[in-house]
Structure formats: C-alpha cells, structure tokens
Amino acid sequence: MESYYRILKVQHNATNEEIRKSFRSLVLKWHPDKHGPGSKDAATEVFLRVTEAYRCLSDTPQREIYDIKCATIVFSDPSDPANWFREQYQREKRARQAETERRRTQEREQNAARQRERQERQERQEREKRAAEEARRRETEERESRSREEPEDDYNDQTSGHTHSDTGIHSPEEIPKSEPSSSSSPEPQNASDIPEATPEPPIPEVKLENEEEYWYNYFFSKAKPRFSTESSYKMSVPATSSGRRWSEAELDGLMDLRREHPVGTCGWDYIASLLNSKFKMGRSAAAAKGKYYKSWRMEAYN
C-alpha cells in the first residue's frame, strides 16, 4: 500500500506549489493518450491514482484528515514519506505517557509526604498529650505529698496568749445549767390534751358568667403599663385603613361586633368575615383578635 505522498513523489511537508508541479509532470508522463495499446491500461490506472492523490492533497481540509489517517496506517515501504505521521504519533504518545507517569509519580510522592506529615503530627500530638498527663500526674503527687507533710492546724496555737475570759469563750464546765422555770407551760401528757387544728374554709366556686371579662381580669388587671402614669397614652389611629393600619372607624366596628357577639356565641372567623364585608379590607381572624385585645388594653389604660 502506497500513500498519496509517495504516488506524487513529494515529502510529507510539501507545499501546494510542489504538489502541483509534481502532479503536472506525472500527468504528462502517464496520460493514456501518450501510451500505446499495450501499456494504455497500466498508464490509465497510474493516471487515475495520481489524479486521486492530487485531489486529496490539494484540498487543505482533506489533507489534514488524510494526515491523521496516516498516523494509524502501516505502509509497506519503510521509506514512504507518510510513515513520518505514524512515527510522530508514536513519539507524541510516548511523550504523553511519560508526562502521565511523571504526574502520577509526583502525586504519589506528594501523597507519601502528606501521609508522613500526618503521622508526624499525630505522633507529636500523642507525645504532647503524654507529656501533659505526666505533668498533671507529677503535680498531683506533689500536692498530695505536701498535704501529708504539712502539720494540722491546732486551734490552741491559733489562740495562744489568750484566755477564755478574754475571748469570751467558756468551757462546758463553766456554762451554767438553766433550771426549768415553773412559769413555762407544761407539755401535754396525753394525745387528748393536744388541741385540734382549725379546718380551713372551703374555696368558693366561681361561676364564669362572662368568660371574656374573667380572662381580662386574670391577665391584665395586675399588668403595669409600659408608659408613664403622669401622661395618658393615646393611640395614633389613621383616618383611613390600609394593609397594616386600622382606621378609627374599623376599630370601633370591631369593638361593636365583639359586643354584639360575645365570646362563646361565635368565633373570630365569623367576626372577621363580618368586619371584612363592612369595610372591604380582608382582615384575618388572628389579626382581628390581636387588634381587639390590644385596643381593649389601651382603652383600659386610658
């Protein structure tokens, strides 16, 4: 098998001008019209091969593709110019393998160095830990030995040079024994002499007629206001309602609805629906409940 470079008799790095000159000379030599009937078939075959080779090598994209193919083809003639591509490919492959092996070796060395550093750090930590434990053990032993060697404090040494009369301390013999007085009440001899305990009065039952008022008194009757008692606290109520602010008319409507529908007769969802149908604001039950008790406390404080 011959390559196109060998057919055109050019080198692997030949320019387009060199390929064109070689093609013209070969065409003039192997044109079928210049050969007799005996060699015309052979000349035609050579002429077609030369034309095919020139068509491929004269086109730059096709030539690049053909060069890549030549890197994987083993040509029959060792002197074929296209063998350069296969040799170049082998050289590049060996260089890539050497680079890969070099990187792997470097990574192995780095991993081994990190492993050694990790082991050294662990050994150093273990040594420091053992040294600290040994130091604590020696300190504990020294403390115990000092405590055993030190004599116990004697109370008489501390109070040396002072008499009991000076310090006001009396010995048990000097303390006079008190005689039982006749005026003291005698202890009861029998269990019948012990007076009976007065029973506590029963806790009265509280009937919750108004649950809302009861819980108000329970939670807010003893609550201290967060403002000064000298000046009364006034809520700033806007004239119109918004997404977060309640108008005075909306607050009054909420208080009136709660008075008309006491706790126990309906829930806050119903109160909120009545309030929203009147003022078109879309208040939730939690918002209505919180605003109601907040307004109630402010009215109580004012």
Q: How far apart are CA 247 and CA 255, in angstroms?
A: 13
Quote the percentage of the chain above a pLDDT of 70: 66
pLDDT beyond 90 at 1 = no
Whether 103 has a pLDDT exceeding 90, the answer reads yes
Which range among 18-22, 134-138, 167-171, 223-227 shows the weakest confidence by mean pLDDT? Answer: 223-227
User: Confidence band (pLDDT; 50, 70, 90) for 192?
Assistant: low
Report the pLDDT averaged over residues 156-162. Answer: 50
Give the architecture (CATH level 2) of 4-81: Orthogonal Bundle (1.10)
Report field, pTM of the whole predicted structure over 0.75: no
242-302: what CATH class? mainly alpha
35 vs 230: which has the higher pLDDT: 35
Confidence at residue 245, expressed as pLDDT on a 0 to 100 scale: 76
Taking alpha carbons only, the member of 264, 243, 261, 241 closest to residue 251 is: 241
Q: What is the 3-state secondary structure (H, E, C) of 65-124?
A: HHHHHHCCCCCCCCCCCCHHHHHHHHHHHHHHHHHHHHHHHHHHHHHHHHHHHHHHHHHH
pLDDT at residue 11 is higher than 60: yes
Rounded average pLDDT over 90-98: 92
Is residue 70 within 8 Å of 86, Cβ to Cβ?
Answer: yes
| Mean pLDDT across the chain | 76
- For residue range 202-215, list pLDDT tens digits in order: 655 555 555 566 55
Q: What's 153's DSSP letter?
A: P
Residue 266 pLDDT exceeds 70: yes
pLDDT at 201: 58
Q: How far is CA 85 from CA 29, 75, 79, 133, in A?
A: 29, 11, 12, 71
The CA distances from residue 250 to 80, 237, 245, 247, 278, in Å, are 102, 10, 10, 5, 9
What pLDDT sits at residue 261?
83
Tell me the C-alpha distance between 48 and 117, whole Å: 71
- Please choose, from the candidates 16, 5, 15, 51, the residue with its C-alpha nearest in 3D space to the C-alpha of residue 32: 51
Higher pLDDT, 163 or 32: 32
Q: Which of 118, 101, 296, 269 is nearest to 213 (CA)?
A: 296
Q: Which residue has the higher pLDDT, 130 or 192?
A: 130
Comparison of pLDDT for 98 and 205, the residue scoring more: 98
Express as a percent the part of the chain with pLDDT over 90: 25
Q: Residues 248, 291: contact at Cβ < 8 Å?
A: no
